[in-house]
Amino acid sequence: MTDTATRIAAGLEQAFVAHGFAEPNVETLRDGAGVSLRTLYKYTPSRDEMVIAALEHRHLRYLDHVFADLPDDGSPALGAIIDRIANWMTTEAPHGCLFHAAVAAAPQNMRLVELLKRHKGDVAIKAAVVSGLQNREADIAFLFEGLTQSWPLLGGAAARSAHRLAQHL
Where does the pLDDT of residue 56 fall: very low under 50, low under 70, confident under 90, or very high at 90 and above? very high
At 71 the pLDDT is 75
Residues 85-98 have pLDDT tens digits of 999 999 999 889 99
At 75 the pLDDT is 66
The identity of residue 102, as a single letter, is A
Residue ranges of domains in the chain, CATH in brackets: 3-166 (1.10.357.10)
The model carries a pTM of 0.93
